[in-house]
Each structure stands twice: as C-alpha cells, then as structure tokens.
Chains A and B, each alone.
Chain A
Amino acid sequence: MNEEEVKNFFSKTIADNEDFSVGVVAIMTLMKIIENYKDTTIRGLDDNLREGIAAMKTLDLPVTAINSGCELFMRFITLAKLDYKSFEECRKTMLERGEIFLNKLHQSRDKIVKLATKFIVDGSKVLTHSRSRVVLKTFIEASRQKKQFEVYVTQSAPDNSGEIMCKNLEAEGISCTLILDSAIGYVMEQVNFVMVGAEGVVESGGIVNKVGSYTMAVCAREMKKPFYVLTESFKFSRLFPLNQSDLPEEYKYTSSSKKEKDFKKVHPLVDYTPPSYITLLFTDLGILTPSAVSDELIQLYL
C-alpha cells in the first residue's frame, strides 16, 4: 500500500467506525498493510509499515494514540519476523497475533466501563472534559443500571467536542449541562469527582489529553475532588515529560498547523497532567495508581 492508500483506508475506517479509538484504527491499518503487502521480504514489509505510520501521522488527528498503538504493534506483533523462516509463515502469524491483539483491545473498553461504573453512585455529580468514548460509554452503562446522576461537560475549545459529548449524553437521557471552559472553577465545588479520558499515558503515570485537562486537574486538587482517568492500556507510551514544553511537537500541534513557523502563536491541542494530580487510572489491567503505570511499562518493555 502506498501512502495515499494508507491515508484513505485510515480516514475511511475512522469515519465508518465512529466508536473506535484512533489507536485501534491505526493498528487495523497496519494489519491491512501486512495483508496487502506484495513483495516477499521482511525488510521491505518493515519499511512499508513505518511509512504507513508516518503517513497516518500526517492526518489531522491526535498523534498520541496513533504513536503508542503503533509502537506496541511494531514491538510485539512484528516480533514474529525473528521466529519464522519463510515469509508466508511469518505473515500468517503476524496477522493471527494482530487479530488476537485487536480483539483484546475491543474488549478492553468494556472492562474499564465495568470497573468505572461502580464509582458512579446515585445522586452524584460528575465533571468531564471534552469527548472521550470510554467516558461516554461508562455514563451510558451507568444510566442503564438505573443510576441517577448529573454530568457537567466542558465545551472544550477549540474544536468544541464537548458539545457533541453533550448531545450524545442527552440522546441517552442522561441529564447533562454544557459549561464554559472558563467555568471549571465555578462548577468544581459542586461536583463529586472528575472523570476524563486520555490520549496517552506517559511513563510517570501522568496523562496527555485534550488541552484544559491540566487546568481541571489543578482545580480538582485545590478543591480536593478526586480526579479519575479512564484509559485503555494500549495508550501507555514510553515518554517521560517533565513539563509541558517537553511534550513532542507532533503531539501538541496538528500537521496542518505545523506549516506555520512560529509555534508560539498556535495553541497546543494537548497538555500534560502530572501524576501527582491524578487520583486513579481505570484501565483494562485494573484500577491503577499513577505510579503503577510505570511498573506495568517496565514489565512490558524491559
């Protein structure tokens, strides 16, 4: 598959599967590349995959999830190239493993939802930021369990994804209020806890998420409200930012805004929330404290 094909397939799959996370779609695209690969050299396949990843990153989508998903895939699925002699055999195992991996990923969201719904109790008020599929699913599941709760959603500029989130929630009959980003401090004192998703989880146990999450976390800490993060474990990435400026540029800016030379005038899309502000992370590996994230990562990569 050439670059154009990869991009087309990627955007099409995202459009078709509204429910899939970008990282999962990226992995699906990589699988597609392996399937359609015509030559018979491992080296060539490897190069093709890398080109595919680079192509996906040029699209105007959050790079964080694509990055960590692809890194995991490259590390564990394509490891098969070391074990098998013939190319066909190797391709077969890669696809098999990839399939298992994808299945696992699809199930991971349900696991998180199961864990997180217990934390929503009758009469609770929840604040959330932007739109996250796993948070949305958790709210829906909780309302199906006939729990009465209220959700505050930030508008979350610049793409106003909070408005979509609000519509989705209302469609499910969950009472929700859209608030301004600048009203976080005002609302914080009435909510019981904060629940957000994440684009990526870094090694320190902190998260990379839609810009504004950090503000919310600082606010929550000040008012002593728990700050929960819902995230799949494939979003764990090997990155250790110490502050906001340490985040890679490709995470912070879309590829279209990269054309501008002066980044100072462009707003970043994501920010980094340090682990000390996070109460708990709900993942498919279980409910983790931020420090446990690095433990999991060590076990994965070392």
Chain B
Amino acid sequence: MEKKDLKVNGDGLSKKQRRALKVQEKLKVQNNAVNTKENSPNCQVEKKQESKKSKTAERTEVKPSTQLTEKELRKLEWEKKLAAQKGEDGEKNKGLTKAELRAQRREQQEAQRHAKAATKPEQKPQQEPVELKKPLAANKTPPKKIEKKKHPEMRRLQIVSHLYAEAPLNNTIVNYKNVHPAFVRLGVQYSTKKILGSNARCRALLIAVKCLINDLQTPPKQEFCRYLEQILQSGVDYLQSCRAFAVSMSNALRHFKLKLQEATTLDDSDKKETLLNNINTYISEEIDKAGEAINAHRQKKQFEVIVVDGRPFLEGRQMLQRLAHIGIHCSYVQINAISYVMGLATKVLLGAHALLTNGFVMSRIGTSQVALVAQAYNKPVLVCCETYKFSERGQTDSFVYNELGDGDMLTSVDTLEETSPLIQTRNDSNLQILNLLYDVTPPDLITAVVTELAILPCTSAPVVLRIKPTDLLNFKI
C-alpha cells in the first residue's frame, strides 16, 4: 500500500489529498507502535497463506466502509482478487526472494490498513478512489503482465512514474492472431530502435499498411473496409505496445482512416487500389515533397556544418556520414562542446519530432539545450518540420508526455574498452536511471519554423492546423 501511495503521489493528486496522505503517514507511525501486538500474529499467517490474508484484510476493511456505496465495495473486492492473483503468480513465477520481498511489503501494507481502520475510519472514503486508480488502469492488461512490471518499479523515478506504463515487450512471444507479420516485424524494429526518427517510422508504418492491404483476404460476409479497419486496429495496438506512436504516425494514420471512410462507397476491387494509391500519394506528398521543399541546400551555396551529437543514440553519426558523402564540409562534436562551437556558428538548424499548438517544439532530447545555448549566443534558431508533424496537443514540460528509453543505454559506454562502473551498480536500489527520449523547447528560444508551406514563427502552429483540415476538404471536392 505504501508503495502505491507514493506512486500515486507523483501523479496528479490534488493538494488536499496529498496533505491527507501526509497526515495519515504520521498517524501510521504512531499507530504502528500501538498496534504491533495486534498485528504481529496476523502477519505471520500472511507470510504462509497469502490468500487467507487478503480475506482477513477484507473483513477489517469492510467494517469501517459501511458508508461506502456498492460500487466502491465492488472495486475493493476487485482489488483483493487482483492482489491474491498477484501473490499466487509471484510464488509460481519468481524465486523465493522476490516472493518474500512482496510478502514483506504486503505485511507493511496490512499494518497500515489496520492502523487506518482502527483510528481513522472516516478517512476511508476519501482515500479509497486514489488507491483504486492503479488496479483499474491495469484492468485492460492481463494480471501476469502487472506482475512483471512490479519489480522494476523499485527503481522508478517518481516524477515520471506515469510514463512507465509501457512494458518491455522484447521477450514476450507474439501470438496475436490478427496481427500481420509486417506489423510484427515493424514492432520489433521499433522497440529495438532499429528504425529511428519520426519520418522513418512514419514511412515504415505506411509501407506496412500497404503490405497489409495487399495481403488482406476479406472473409465471406464481411465488408472489406470494416474488416481492414478491425485488422489495422489490432496491428496498431500491437505497435503501440512496442513503442508509443510518434505524432507524425498518428497524423498519417488519421489521414488514412479518413480515406478509408471515403472509400466505403467504392467497389471492393477498386478499394484496394484507391487505398494503395492514397498511401503512395501521402508518402510522396507529405513526407518526400515536404523534405524537398525544406531542403534548400542543393543550390550550390557555400557553407559548413557542425553536427552536434549526443548519447545514447548518436544519430548524428549517420547524419555526418550522409553530409560528408555529398561533399559538405563538416565538423562533429558531442553536446558537451556546444558552448564552444556555438560561437563559430551563424545559425542553428534543428529537427523536430512534433510541433505543438502552444508553439513548443518536441524533439530528440538535447534539442532544448542547444536552443538555449544558441539564445545565449544570440544565434537564430531554425526548426525544420513538415506540417504533417504539427500536433493539436499542448505541452509545457517534458514530463507530462514523453517516452522512456532503456536505462541500460546510459550505463553502458560503447566507445570505451573497459566496462562502465555503472553496470555493476545498476541493480542498486538507490540508483535511479532516467532515459527520456524527447524534450520540449519553449517558443521564445526558437526564431522560426521552416515548413514546406512557408517560414513561420512557431506561435503560428494553430493557424496552420486550422488551415489543414480545410485543405483536406478542398481536396475532397
């Protein structure tokens, strides 16, 4: 229980609730001292028979909560069941040590529960919904998965606790019958970061969808589009579980679904073709042409490029390779050298993952740092971003929504022969590793956004978004 409390605490709790929690915690400490006698026999039983324990807990808990509504009672019972299941699974799947750990934790929780029940029954109704959040959210995923997620929680940072939702799926065997092999492959490529960068990911997704349409055999008595949508959804769900979608991908998918709806009136044979054509035009129009429009460097201009790269992905090396290949004079530095190199530059060109409505730019981690240094040196900062990456979301910090990378990527150093000292200590419970993939850059650090439509100040994102749907409407006619 304590674990859960803390975790929820990191989420959006109201101040009042948080204060209530604090008061409780104080009381717990006092009451634990008082109630030790009552609790100790109970706890011993628990260690051996976990299922029984939950029943005793239920009894003690239900009494004070007689004022609760039926619904809340049902929720409570559901929680109990879940807890019991977890316990069983834990004993089967994991070694004794973990089971013991869990038992200990449960012991603590029970103690607290007793304490609460004894002293502060009136607090229950307020407390309950908060506690229940987690099991309810976990409703969708089977309980076994929860078990797996439980363990790494030990080293989770509270401030980003809500981001840990995605379970590492690398080792689970995919047996979704409705997922097309192309999607499965794509999922693995996404999760192992073989395909990186939102443009590449979007393109790969669309190609997979094309593959799907080509191979799709509509079962008898089913309408093609409906069936496709259904299959597509399961594929998308699978991909989502591998790695959260990029803004570009969800925009592309939305566009595709719109086209799909339009296509429902057509013949079955035509449908496939029109849809394939739609995807092809989307790829060529939105992604490739946008890239061409933005890329103005084929005009025989004389310039030099300083590529600033940062761990853990070191994507800059690919960039460097390509630039050097076409004969552009380049230098390569790590982000640590940014302040020195900024003095040499005349302008800063950045990529973007998404442009948000409030003008913030979401991009690979480190971007906002570069922008900040550029501002300090008074250099103009240009962000290159195709308009299909504009998002109607608004976000002011990197924690509300982000993706977490593998923490091990930070502990291992691939450029050195010797192994990093961090590797030995990575199982230390005092060590918390945070590998965020994106950050957001505030609009006042960005001079302009270069899109295929025009060069805009980044505060104009909502206007472009407003124009876009009308574009679609015109396109229809």
B-contacting residues of A (Cβ < 8 Å)?
203-205, 238, 240, 242-243, 275-276, 290-291, 294-295, 297-299, 301-302
Contacts and interface: CB of A to CB of B under 8 A. Distances in A.
A203 B463 contact: no
The listed residue with most B CB atoms (<10 A of its CB), out of A204, A238, A290, A297, is A204
Contacts of A275: 457
Interface string B431-465: 00000000000001001100001111101100110
A242 B447 contact: yes
Contacts of A205: 457
B454 A298 contact: yes
Q: Size band of the B side of the interface?
A: 10 to 19
Contact of A302 (B444, B447, B453, B459): B453
Shortest 4 CB-CB contacts between residues of A and residues of B: A291-B459, A242-B380, A240-B455, A295-B463
B467 interface: yes
A298 B457 contact: no
B455 A203 contact: yes
Nearest to A243: B380
Nearest to A240: B455
A291 B457 contact: yes
Contacts, number: 44
A26 B448 CA distance: 31
B347 interface: yes
Contacts of B447: 204, 242
Contact of B457 (A294, A299, A301): A294
Interface of B: 347, 380, 382, 444, 447-448, 453-457, 459-460, 463-464, 467
Contacts of B457: 203-205, 275, 290-291, 294
B454 A203 contact: yes
5 contacts: A205-B457, A243-B380, A276-B444, A295-B460, A298-B464
A276 B448 CA distance: 12
A275 B448 CA distance: 11
Given A204-B448, A242-B447, A302 B460 contact: no
A298 B467 contact: yes
Which secondary structure characterizes the binding site on chain B? mixed
Contacts of B448: 204, 240, 242
A272 to B, nearest CB: 12
Nearest to B443: A291
Contacts of A290: 457
B347 A203 contact: no
A302 B467 contact: yes
Contacts of A301: 454
Nearest to B381: A242
Given A242-B347, A298-B463, A299-B463, A203 B380 contact: no
A205 B448 CA distance: 11
B383 to A, nearest CB: 13
The listed residue with most A CB atoms (<10 A of its CB), out of B380, B382, B453, B463, is B463
Nearest to B347: A242
Nearest to A293: B457
Contacts of A298: 453-454, 456, 460, 463-464, 467
A204 B456 CA distance: 7
B456 A203 contact: yes
Contacts of A297: 454
Contacts of B380: 242-243
